[in-house]
Structure 1
Amino acid sequence: MAAKTQSGRLRVYARTEDLPPSWDELAASGGLGLDRRFLQSTEQSTGECSKRYLIYESPSGAAAVAIGDLLESPTTRDPVVSVLLGRMGRHIPAAREWVLPMLALGCDVSSDAPVATNAATVPERRRVFTEMLASIGSRAREEAWTVAVTGVPTDDTALTTALGQQGYIRTLGRPFAELRLSYECWDDFLEAAAIRSKNAAYTIRKELRHAAREDLRIIDWDPARTPVARLHELLDEHERRLNNRSVRYDETFLKKLADALGDNVRVLLAVHEKQLQGVVVLAWSGSRGYVLYPGMIPKGKRAAFAYFNLVYYAPIRLGLELGLESLAFGNGVFPAKIRRGCHAVETSLFLRPRTPIMRAAVRMPIALHRHMLARKYAPILKASAFSFIS
């Protein structure tokens, strides 16, 4: 469907199969989270109908795309409530309803911003984003939507300025862990760890030695030898242990993803004594890599340090071999990630409740929330790669 405003034309799609070819050109700078191939794989494997794909065309000739979900009923995967209330929001249904219905712009890949544009300069990007947000705001008023934008890079001044000008209220989003691959090779990475922290270097080498001693092997997935259903079991068990919920995707997901991304993905398995220990996906878009979808057998049953060798060291080795510039490791478990070479990257969440009264009512609580999160995240955001934090 399309909506025309004085500032241009906004088109909203509910399925990737309906997206025009222009999506691919506009999304090219947005990373994996906006890649049509990735989006089709996730869409086909979830059965969810909430996804929305937006294309905005400016009178100037520039254009932008955005991705998100139209949430009309409470869900534990609400990205706004999960940030504002944390796990408590899962147990208080009424707390999840006040923002609904809501258009929540955000990527399934937490390290990617949910918008991209072909505008080249900061002023041009700010103008296009401002126009697009104004068009979204017009549509939101017609539909009585709250609008949220998650995963906004704090250093994207064009986007953050446009959001502020359109009346969005800012708080901190969830940081994500990133490892800059500024090393010539694997040995260079180990040497850098030793220079930064002898303790970190000792930890890494110890985990590598244990893996070698136990003959833990990291191999590429062969669907003929390991059924995709078995990998889905690992993903589901892992998600249930960590988050007490089932995995979103059906059992064909990893096969669909591998087929769709082709030469831009590796599905890695850890094997010990012919027994499968775990799975992880390394995908890449341009010079940026993404470590996704880890699934491990229970800790008591798996080989020592299988997790770190599969989920950290194997992707780092491959990333260096592929010439990638960075690896995104998602959010959570920051002390372990920082100790092994990552740093935490700050993001912002912007919210525009559907009525002026609601916006006025939540402005102060969200400001307090922002202050609280700033204190909470300060230790990890200030920590340098290979440092130890509690």
Structure 2
Amino acid sequence: MTPHQQNRTAARPGTGFVESLSEIGEDELSRLHTGRSFYVSRPWLRAVERLRSPDVAYVTHRDADSVLDGVLPLYRQRPSASSPYDAFGTFLQHAGGFRAADWSPSLLVGQSSAYSNEFLTAPTPDAQAVLQEMLHAADDKRREWGMSALAALYLNESGVRQISGIEGMSASLVCDVECEIDITFDSWEAYTRSLGKKRGWLVRREARLFQEAGYRVSGQRLSELLDTSNDLFTKLQQKYGDNTSQEERAHYLRVLADETDDHSRLFVMRCGDDVLGVCLTFLWQDTMYVRQLGLDYERLAGVGEYFNLAIYEPIRHAIEHGFTRVHFGRSVYDGKMFRGAAARPLLGACWSAAAGPPDTLPAFQDWNADRAKSATSGDRSLIMAAFGSGQT
């Protein structure tokens, strides 16, 4: 009997808890990954676990034969005025009519970073029932940890479908939008033609000026350029008000390299021998995920380096290597949509032990309806006004 078979024999049907993904076999978990975002994959969740420990646990679910058919990550949320994962501080208090004590702190389920949340359940007819059982178990952990609410934030289209119909957890809160582009073209030229005459001309011009400035882009793994990446990420983040220290970011990048390096592709922008920009992406199944950009702004030629490195190079790579989608995430909505990306709503579901569902309050309904209208409009100006421009 193999160790894996022994573990399966020892495991009991129904829900349980583990404190680390190391307690779950890789082959067991891989069954739940198919068709899911990289940001709920084992490599990414392992990195988050190391960064968030000890505020992490997992609900597991096994079928009648003790086969793993669900895993639900749980993250203890620490109230913070600056945290995008503070459901009350970031969203509910702006709608009005909510008491902080009813909603904060909250227990986050599914995901606590990267803004692309869905649930790890096996593709079976019982998947929604499995998710519902895991959410009930998560509520037990919420009480044990003395927290006021459950929250599943930044749910993508798949996550919204999964949670739809589960009592008390309807995904009504509009958290943000994410940008993605479907790779339906087989060449760079076909991509630029798909944008239309005016936008296609601008994109070709930016790409030409980039090349004429002497830039060249190559690919490496994150682990091969950690220190340089840290320097460049820090420079860009400081430009936009992020005061995370280089030491903190270095730790974060080392953990990412340890856990996700096999899926990383770092687009490295050089001029001569100097590295002036990096763009970290992850390759997962049929999708490329653009995660983070770093630029040495003071030394750039000013020829659209941001868009060349963070949009055009990933699109070229996706076309050449058979990826069907590039996920650009949040921020810079205007620039991404102008260059062909679609904006898709990211929703949230919240449940309080002491208060009714958010969408029963008229003030919330009005506030949220305005955000929903913008998020689904496809209008760059409305999305920018509602959700901010992010980095430009």
| Smaller-chain TM-score bracket | 0.7 to 0.9
Deviation at 1:95, TM superposition (A): 8.3
> Which residue of structure 2 lines up, in the alignment, with residue 238 of structure 1?
236
Please report how far the alpha carbon of residue 351 of structure 1 lies from its aligned counterpart in structure 2 after TM superposition. Answer: 0.4
Question: Which whole-Å deviations, capped at 9, do the CAs of 1:242-291 have from their partners, x for residues lacking one?
Answer: 24331795315445545644553211111123332211112121111101
Give the distance between the partners of 2:35 and 2:318, measured in 1 at CA: 20
In structure 2, relative to structure 1, the CA distance for the partners of 1:106 and 1:234 (3 Å cut) is farther
Alpha-carbon offset, residue 39 of structure 1? 2.7
Distance 1:326 1:68, change over 3 A: farther
Aligned residue number for residue 385 of structure 2: none
Partner of 2:218: 219
- Structure 2 Cα separation of the partners of residues 241 and 380 of structure 1: 28
1:265 partner amino acid: S
Note the C-alpha offset of 1:158: 4.6
Identical positions, percent: 16
Match of 2:306 in 1: 307
2:284 aligned with 1:279: no
Aligned to 1:376: 374
- Find the aligned partners of 2:253 and 2:142 in 1 and give their Cα distance: 35
Residue 65 of structure 1 is matched in structure 2 by 71
Alpha-carbon offset, residue 55 of structure 1: 1.9
Q: Which runs of 4+ in 1 moved over 6 A?
A: 94-97
Task: Say if 2:53 is the partner of 1:41.
Answer: no
Q: Does 2:353 correspond to 1:354? A: yes
The TM-score normalised by the length of structure 1 is 0.80
Q: Say whether the 8 Å CA contact 2:44–2:259 is kept in structure 1.
A: yes
The RMSD of aligned alpha carbons is 3.4
Secondary structure at the aligned position of 1:30 is classed as: coil
Residue 3 of structure 2: aligned partner:
none
CA distance in 1, matches of 2:74, 2:144: 18
Q: 1:160 aligned to 2:158?
A: no
DSSP 3-state at the match of 1:120: coil
1:330 alignment counterpart: 329
CA contact (8 A) 1:62 1:128 kept: no
Matches within 5 A, 1:245-260: 245-246=243-244, 250-251=249-250, 253-254=252-253, 256-258=255-257, 260=259
SS of the residue aligned with 1:187? helix
Query: What is the DSSP-based 3-state SS (H/G/I as helix, E as strand, rest coil) of the residue aligned with 2:117?
Result: coil
Conserved 8 A contact 2:277-2:295: yes
Distance 1:96 1:282, change over 3 A: farther
CA shift, 1:296, in A, is 1.4
Q: Is residue 29–residue 117 contact of structure 1 (8 Å, CA) maintained in 2?
A: no
Q: Point out the more displaced range, 322-331 or 236-245.
A: 236-245
> Structure 2 stretches of 5 or more lacking a match?
1-12, 382-388
Cα pair distance change 1:279/1:351, threshold 3 Å: same
In the TM superposition, what is the alpha-carbon distance from 1:52 to its structure 2 partner? Answer: 3.3
Residues 57-206 of structure 1: pairs in structure 2 closer than 5 A: 57-59=62-64, 63-74=69-80, 76-79=82-85, 80-81=87-88, 83-84=90-91, 99-107=103-111, 110=114, 112-121=116-125, 124-145=126-147, 146-154=149-157, 158-163=161-166, 165-168=167-170, 170-193=172-195, 197-206=196-205
1:174 is paired with a residue of what secondary structure? strand
Give the TM-score of the pair, scaled to structure 2.
0.80
**Contact 1:10 / 1:54 at 8 angstroms: preserved in 2?**
yes
Secondary structure at the aligned position of 1:77 is classed as coil
Q: Residues 295-349 of structure 1, C-alpha deviation per residue, up to 9 Å, x if partnerless?
A: 1122x43122111111111111111122111011011111100111100111210
**Deviation string, structure 1 residues 198-243 (Cα, Å, up to 9, x no partner):** 121011011011111111111224789x852221122123223224
Which consecutive unaligned segments of at least 5 residues does structure 1 have?
Answer: 1-6, 384-389
Determine the C-alpha separation between the residues in 2 that align with 1:223 and 1:288.
18
Amino acid at match of 1:52: A
1:387 corresponds to which residue?
Answer: none
Map 1:12-51 to 2 at 5 A. Answer: 12-13=18-19, 15-21=20-26, 22-44=28-50, 46=51, 48-51=53-56
Matched to 1:140, the amino acid is: R
Matched length:
362
> For residue 311 of structure 2, what is the amino acid of its counterpart?
Y
User: Secondary structure in 2 aligned to 1:173?
Assistant: strand
In structure 2, what residue type is equivalent to 1:277? L
Structure 1 residues 93-126: Cα deviation after superposition (integer angstroms, max 9, x where no partner): x9876522311124356463231211334xx222
Distance 1:137 1:369 in 2: 27
Aligned equivalents of 1:34, 1:251: Cα separation in 2: 23
